[in-house]
Structure 1
Amino acid sequence: MCYTIKQTFLIPPMNDEVTVETSVKVKHTKEEKLPRPLTSFYDVTNKELTLQELIDKSDQLFRNYHCSISQSANLFKITEAQNISPLWFEHRKGRITASKAHEVLTLRPTTNPNKLIMRISGYNSYDLSKKEAIKWGLEKEAITRDTYIQYMEKNHSNFECKLSGLKISEQNYFLGASADGVISCSCCGRGTLEIKCPHKHKDKSSMDAAKEDPTFCLDTQLHLKNNHKYYTQIQFQMFVYDTDYCDFVVMTSPNDVILLAIVRICRDPEFCNTLISKCTYFVKELLIPELLTRKLLHDYKVANTSVNDVTKREILLV
């Protein structure tokens, strides 16, 4: 059974740039310890395939690509460091992950999907580490998790929270997620943890943020809005981890006091079915053909080379 938790409590102080693709070489021996990276299915000869041949080859890859339980477990363990793990980055490439799921869900038929395909394929590189909002969120994640654990240990039987690496869905190997923790207790069973530390609202309570900012993820009842990207992220995450609930934790720190809003989100089967159906279509029809051919990456390089050549000629003519 999934119970809704709304708990707010105080604890005393305790630019987008597109780059060429980079990849990490991964050695595979015997029964590979790790899944085969999706980027490794590229072959220059695939560019010569007819449309029907490419459709057939894409369908074949979707049906035949496999990730064993031991491979998935090894990847999950070895990528616990998440964004400082090269393998975490490598195995996210070519997979729809929880943070991208909302973009796939809300993609309109009239919208060109190429930019999204390129981001999921790992062609776009963003240096977010120096951005104040990202830096603040990363710095506060650990203390938020520790504070959450302290609260849960006092209110749940045999509560545990373990770090999580990249989890590959057992139902669709082209989908993956990285929760901020895998949680369990005798009373509620197994779930996931998702932490948000919004820098924009760091100096106010979640309730005040909800009242003042219509774009804030929580409403004034401290419910997660079901049209917000975080709702999609969490539902996708629960599908990948095969859990029935997620504790969504929002941390702010007005006056240097840690304030947590803990919201338990239950799995929404109808929403998940729609979401996973759309993600599966995106994978089969749009993503896998790009993994095989890298056509968009090639076209991007050609376009930018042409622009650079024109610029160079103009400079020489001045």
Structure 2
Amino acid sequence: MKGVQPARVADINFYGDKPKEKVVANNAPARRADPQPVSSDGFEDFLVSLLAASNPVMPVGLSLFGSTSSNFAPKKAVVPSQKVPPGLRSLYRGVEGFKSLDKVYSAATQTMKLDHKDVERIGNVTKLQSKSLVWYEQRAGRITSSVSHSVLRTSTTKPSQYLIKSICCDRPSKLKTTAIMWGNEHEQVARQQDAEGAVSSAHSDLKVNNCGLLIKREQPFLAASPDALLACSCHGMGALEIKCPFKFCEMSVEQMCKEKDSCLDQNLELKESPVLHPNATSMCVTGASHFLVWLPTAGHVCSVFPHQEYALTSGPASTAFREGHIRPELLFRKVELGTEQSEHGNKQGHCSCGSADSVPMLGCDDKKCTHQWFHWACVGITKEPRSKTWYCDKCKSSNTKRKRQRRQ
């Protein structure tokens, strides 16, 4: 073909002018209409419609406009209608208290006194128990059902410093073992499935209510937090304690009763063991008591009546422990602040887990033990040892090595 000049592909025009104009026109951006100004009435209507469509969760941007800002007015703080008296930790006097001990002790005795309305208010405000900060505040400094057994076991002259600190402490417990967590998770299930059914069959007009901290007005240093409070027209008011033993979770109640460390005997009655102490302390405050043992297979409820021997021994012992150790600690906080020394010149040892909890504890009889006191769950026991002496695994191993060295 004549007249064709060579050129690069990029320089060759394969389209005519009309097709090229069509392609350019299709690729051109669409022309947008100019925005029309919105009237004030129209804008207000838009805000109102946006507010109605976003109910109940409202965009915070609407708080910037006058027509909708009134919906974001801060709510007034709800003042509790029931004011409770200050907790026993408010008795703290520090170094100043040493100047006039008689006056300090006299003032503390008057402060601890509660009337019927105070006890009722504290019980109502603390119904959430461990989920309530007031429950921890009012519980501190009082001998509760969970520590009553430890109070009776400890030495009156040289008591466990850890026990004193745990009673007077108002902080939540950090002890979370598998057994404790399993029991807490199934407590509500046990109450709904068995307590309200099995217990109600033996009572008239029974009501199972949530229970807060119950303080004995005549002895305000005694308190209990039962798992529930029972009220019926035939027996009046009583406490309910629920136990969900993780160790026997795959057994039936009948099989559990055959185990040595079961809290129930062969007749399905509650054994006279440390398990009884929480119920006994609850009865000191509320009167009658019921004990529910719950397993996934079934549950069993047994009635617990006042234990005369326990009442005779626990009353004077608790009073002596409170007067000699709890009240001084509330006033001066020697143990908490580290000014109180143990018999070895060091601070009293705690459990190996390092948790400050008031569950039953067992003391190692080796005077050189670094911990001295252990939680039952941490050393793998469920009941009090029968032997008069008990040694932790570390001290037991050390004693064995010493005996071998002597023989050699």
Q: d(CA) in 1 for partners of 2:232 and 2:311? A: 24
Shift of 1:206: 3.0
CA contact (8 A) 2:130 2:172 kept: no
Shift of 1:173: 0.9
State TM-score, norm by structure 2: 0.59
Match runs of 1:65-80 below 5 Å: 65-80=112-127
Match of 2:329 among 283, 290, 305: 290
Match runs of 1:140-155 below 5 Å: 140-147=186-193, 148-155=195-202
1:137 aligns with 2:137: no
1:230 aligns with 2:280: no
Q: d(CA) in 2 for partners of 1:300 and 1:225? A: 41
Deviation digits for residues 49-99 of structure 1 (CA, Å, limit 9, x no counterpart): 4xxx53663355235522222222111111111111111111111111111
Q: d(CA) in 1 for partners of 2:135 and 2:219? A: 18
Identity %: 29
Shift of 1:143: 1.4
Q: d(CA) in 2 for partners of 1:46 and 1:168? A: 29
1:279 aligns with 2:318: yes
Deviation digits for residues 128-165 of structure 1 (CA, Å, limit 9, x no counterpart): 35x32222111111111112202333443211111100
Q: d(CA) in 2 for partners of 1:95 and 1:275? A: 14
Q: d(CA) in 2 for partners of 1:137 and 1:87? A: 23
SS at match of 2:165: helix
Shift of 1:248: 0.2
Which has the bigger relative contact order, CA under 8 A and spacing at least 6? 1
Match runs of 1:38-187 below 5 Å: 38-46=88-96, 48-49=98-99, 53-54=100-101, 57-58=104-105, 60-62=107-109, 64-109=111-156, 112-122=159-169, 126-129=173-176, 131-147=177-193, 148-187=195-234
Change (3 A) 1:71 1:175: same
The one-letter code matched in structure 1 to 2:91 is: F
Deviation digits for residues 206-226 of structure 1 (CA, Å, limit 9, x no counterpart): 3322312x2222222222222
Larger radius of gyration: 2
Q: d(CA) in 2 for partners of 1:32 and 1:295? A: 33
Count of paired positions: 263
Shift of 1:111: 5.0
The answer for the alignment partner of 1:195 in structure 2 is 242
1:35 aligns with 2:35: no
Q: d(CA) in 1 for partners of 2:261 and 2:96? A: 44
Q: d(CA) in 1 for partners of 2:274 and 2:110? A: 29
The answer for the alignment partner of 2:264 in structure 1 is 218
Shift of 1:276: 1.8
Match of 1:264 among 303, 309, 319: 303
Structure 1, 291-300 or 192-201: larger mean CA deviation: 291-300
The one-letter code matched in structure 1 to 2:86 is: R
Deviation digits for residues 93-118 of structure 1 (CA, Å, limit 9, x no counterpart): 11111111111122234653322111
CA contact (8 A) 1:58 1:284 kept: no
CA contact (8 A) 1:46 1:292 kept: no
Q: d(CA) in 2 for partners of 1:94 and 1:110? A: 19
Change (3 A) 1:32 1:78: closer
State TM-score, norm by structure 1: 0.75
Q: d(CA) in 1 for partners of 2:98 and 2:233? A: 56
Structure with higher strand content: 1
Shift of 1:285: 1.1
SS at match of 1:97: coil
Q: d(CA) in 2 for partners of 1:219 and 1:46? A: 54
The answer for the alignment partner of 2:73 in structure 1 is none
Shift of 1:281: 1.0
Change (3 A) 1:54 1:215: farther
Q: Where does structure 1 lack aligned partners over 5 or more consecutive residues?
A: 1-28, 305-318
Change (3 A) 1:224 1:152: closer
The one-letter code matched in structure 1 to 2:248 is: H
Structure with higher helix content: 1
The answer for the alignment partner of 2:290 in structure 1 is 247
Change (3 A) 1:193 1:66: same
Shift of 1:190: 2.3
